[in-house]
Amino acid sequence: MKKATILSHYVRALMASLERNGQDSMPLLLQAGIAPEVVRDVNGRVPFANFTTLVKASWLALDDENFGLGEPRLSIGAFYFAGHLMVGAPTLGKALMLGARLYAYTNNGWSISFTESDGEVRFDVKLNSPQLDPDHLLAEFVLTGWHHIACWLIGKNIPLKQVNFDYPAPDHEAEYRHIFPAPRAFNQPSLSFTFSAEFLDYPIVQNTQSMDEYLKTTPQNLLLGPVNDDSVSTQIRLILEGHSQEDGFPSFEWVAAALHMTTKTLRLKLKNEGITYQKHKDVMRRDLAIHYLTQQNVPITKIAQRLGFSEPSAFNRAFKTWTGVTPGAYRKPIESPTTSNN
């Protein structure tokens, strides 16, 4: 999902934490290649790669893997030690136990625990100073990060059965369908997710060498999604990413055949995941547009053609709906002085 994008809310939340902790966020934002105009728009989106660049810069500026959202700070390197400790465990259950114990000693900003009952595991996250995390950025990062590292450790996707949040539904709740692909409930007694207990006995398939490689792509790998996600939505996105844009998006019938399903079965599976094929195409078109504008020196008229727009004006309208700004305005902050928009 290297061309994925993220809602501007997350950038604003990170910038707000930087400012609260005495850091000037604007230079870091510009160094990450993120347009301030996009960040100000509530519907704006930025490439995930640029966002992770900002996350890394924020870690270094604050010397805090908790983004300044926990007290006391969690020094850089904590995840490195936790990861290398966990890959030495024989099973996922033992690895999670070791990770929880390590963070109990090194991190007072939050704690994790897990309990097993009736064939299910409830993984709990407790923020010790939730008032320092008003946008729930740290809560989301810790929750998703532990799920994704657990999947990576055993080399399999761990389907979530339930995700609970100890705060009201946020304004960006729609994003949670992608971040937490499971039934969700707000205003609950705990911040937690549940999964089948059978995964606790799965063997760890990673080692120190693969952990070193994994760390090179942190935090993107912790935030973007678990490995081997076998959902239909993920499979469709992979098909669309691998399809030549010069030929347009494949038909619904073609995708169903590629997945060895009838169109009826595919439509039902997508309905169960709360999305349609048309929505997938719209999201892919949006993310590709942002990718082309930020990563490649491709004329805007050519981008419009690649994405199937008959006129540049139609592309301009669609892009402004997606991000809050025109393609030209989006590209301008990251262009060199000699780059042309057309």
Helix/strand/coil percentages in the chain, nearest 5: 55, 10, 35
User: Measured between alpha carbons, how far is 320 from 322 in angstroms, rounded to an integer?
Assistant: 5
Query: Is residue 291 over pLDDT 90?
Result: no
Mean pLDDT of the chain: 87
Structure confidence at residue 246 (pLDDT) = 63
**Nearest-CA neighbor of 155 among 199, 112, 198?**
199
Average pLDDT over residues 279-306: 83
Reported as a single tens digit per residue, the pLDDT across 236-288 is 887 887 776 666 788 999 999 989 899 999 999 888 777 889 888 888 888 88
Question: Could you give the number of structural domains in the chain?
Answer: 3
Q: Is residue 65 assigned to a domain?
A: yes
% the chain with pLDDT above 70: 92
Average pLDDT over residues 318-325: 82
Reported as a single tens digit per residue, the pLDDT across 217-226 is 888 777 765 5
User: Measured between alpha carbons, how far is 327 from 171 in angstroms, rounded to an integer?
Assistant: 26
Same domain for 86 and 57, yes or no, is no
Report field, pTM of the whole predicted structure over 0.85 = no
Query: Is residue 337 over pLDDT 50?
Result: no
Which tokens go with 246? 């010069």
Domain that holds residue 62: 5-73
Q: Is residue 213 assigned to a domain?
A: no
Same domain for 138 and 242, yes or no, is no
Helix, strand or coil, per DSSP, at residue 206: coil
Q: How confident is the model at residue 320 (pLDDT cuts 50, 70, 90)?
A: confident
Residue with token string 């669609």: 318
CA dihedral 123, 126, 131, 137 (to 10 degrees): -40
Average pLDDT over residues 295-315: 84
% the chain with pLDDT above 90: 49
User: Measured between alpha carbons, how far is 175 from 118 in angstroms, rounded to an integer?
Assistant: 30
Same domain for 188 and 259, yes or no, is no
Q: Is residue 214 assigned to a domain?
A: no
Average pLDDT over residues 26-55: 89
**Nearest-CA neighbor of 225 among 261, 181, 189?**
181
CATH code for the domain of 245: 1.10.10.60
Distance set, CA 284 to CA 118, 194, 236, 244 (Å): 40, 30, 10, 13
Structure confidence at residue 178 (pLDDT) = 75
Structure confidence at residue 275 (pLDDT) = 81
Structure confidence at residue 338 (pLDDT) = 40
Query: Is residue 63 over pLDDT 60?
Result: yes
Query: Is residue 340 over pLDDT 90?
Result: no
Q: What are phi and psi of 118, to 5 degrees?
A: 50, 40
* SS3 assignment for 104-163: HHHCCCEEEEEEEECCEEEEEEEECCHHHCCCCHHHHHHHHHHHHHHHHHHCCCCCCCEE
Structure confidence at residue 37 (pLDDT) = 84
The DSSP secondary-structure symbol of 275 reads -
Same domain for 87 and 194, yes or no, is yes
Same domain for 295 and 315, yes or no, is yes
Length of the chain equals 342
